[in-house]
Structure 1
């Protein structure tokens, strides 16, 4: 993509893994989350992002590793900007592959990432090799070998966490509101609807929701719709249809939010990540 900021994004048809290499100057993207694991490293410059209520500063060679749902933003605090490469790994694919590679995967547990930024030159090399094989559309056997090597490196940084439906420390009104948003993500709901579903007034709800999930309810709903938009665009649906299906005013409205979160337009994402012809 032209200009100071550019993004090169592809999706692997066999695994669904998305590979991204990008450069940003200044503001990169607004707070958002993904439903994938994000694993990558900074190539050049200084990459700054807020995640898990702290500011993280990544310099060349540092590895970052985020769980699905980790809210993060991004910006370049230095004049030259930063370049990074990254893989988006589907949680179901990761669980399935680890289950095939290892015999001692516990039942009733899910993978968690205890540390999101660290120095690990061996893992960075594994990310780079997997990125080049997948992004370069190398022979299938080469891609598989590189990904298996990467999985071996990731296990040093992953932990097993007992799978629970809800965190008991989160307030019940926030949990009810979250469930309502997930069930009604395509409806034109307002804070009064949400407050009634949660069983409290909307002012208390807004405070409790942001404290629990890091975003106010309206921003959380937009993130839900954007995550669904990525799925639909990846299946080949046209941006205008996706905007209409998800309750955006029009294609331009979807495009503004999509680019603020991901740095690319819905049309670009569809072209690069859809298995169907444009």
Structure 2
């Protein structure tokens, strides 16, 4: 689907069998507000210069360069140059990629998860493999072609990935990680920070300070962005925008729509249309 606005455009397709999404887009100026995904994001900058903040750093992706994001990586997007930038990316479900990578190893370590060694890469082989995988999936090539291209991309991706011990609370951040788990468990409950303070026996200021020190955002923004990522998943599964808004504690469908469009540059209805198989 194409959504042109002020010389910006976006095309997104969703594969219901694998859950993989492909996105081809061009933006000038500010592209996205800070957000994150429940998927891995593997893409490359096709033209122009793309800039985004992620992991407490500003990253600049030049033409032909790849960008690699993990689930939960907070990032935004903007064009530092007047001509803007164009990119192609694949959004790959965590379980699907972990399963595919695991098949390349004789043994998979317990209590570990896949991580990217760097956010940006200038590996030309990875860029070429990612481009081929994107085109095969986005253009709907025969399944055996899609499979071969994805396998080739994953093979090149292994040079940029490692097993990392699953994230546990580091010393000094136990409270913040307990709060994060509490928020993740209450995505469908209309809670406020005072509820968290009552749960853990601290005041609201201590809760906000501890959480922001550990994660760089307030509990409120973390909860909203996690709900948006979950909304994207639920919409792709066929849930109506109204039902998703209600279940994730947005006041109504319009409220969800305003936040969703700022993060993903699509309305919930437009995104869901991209996820609906066409006859």
- Aligning the two structures, in what range does the TM-score lie when normalised by the shorter sequence? over 0.9
What is the alpha-carbon root mean square deviation over aligned residues? 1.5
State how far apart, in whole Å, the 2-side matches of 1:176 and 1:104 are: 31
- TM-score, length-normalised on structure 1? 0.95
Shift of residue 99, structure 1, vs aligned partner: 2.1
Are 2:22 and 1:19 equivalent residues in the alignment? Answer: yes
Deviations 1:112-132 (A, max 9, x none): 112001211110000000000
Deviations 1:131-158 (A, max 9, x none): 0000001000000000000110110000
Over 3 Å counting, the alpha-carbon distance change for 1:116 and 1:170 in structure 2 is farther
Match of 2:118 in 1: 115
What SS class does the counterpart of residue 155 from structure 1 fall into?
Answer: helix
**Aligned-partner Cα distance in 2 for 1:167–1:47:** 33
Cross-structure match for 2:54: 51
Q: Residues of 1 paired with 2:243 and 2:64: CA distance?
A: 41
**Which of 126, 131, 141 lines up with 1:138 in the alignment?**
141
In structure 1, the residue matched to 2:232 is 230
1:14-163 equivalences under 5 Å are 14-163=17-166
Structure 1 unaligned segments of length 5 or more: list them. Answer: none
Tell me by how many angstroms 1:276 deviates. Answer: 8.9
Could you tell me how far apart the structure 2 residues matched to 1:30 and 1:254 are? Answer: 15
Structure 2 portions without partners, runs of 5+: none
Structure 1 residues 85-105: Cα deviation after superposition (integer angstroms, max 9, x where no partner) = 000111100111122233243
TM score, norm. by length of structure 2: 0.94
CA separation in 1, counterparts of 2:63 and 2:278?
A: 36
Do the aligned partners of 1:233 and 1:274 also contact (CA within 8 Å) in 2?
Answer: no
2:38–2:230: 8 Å Cα contact kept in structure 1? no
Deviation at residue 170 of structure 1 after TM alignment: 5.1
CA distance in 2, matches of 1:220, 1:275: 32
User: Structure 1 residue 198: deviation in Å?
Assistant: 3.0
Distance 2:233 2:265 in 1: 16
Corresponding residue for residue 173 of structure 1? 175
Aligned residue number for residue 263 of structure 2:
261
Equivalent residues, number: 276
Q: CA deviation at 1:275?
A: 5.1
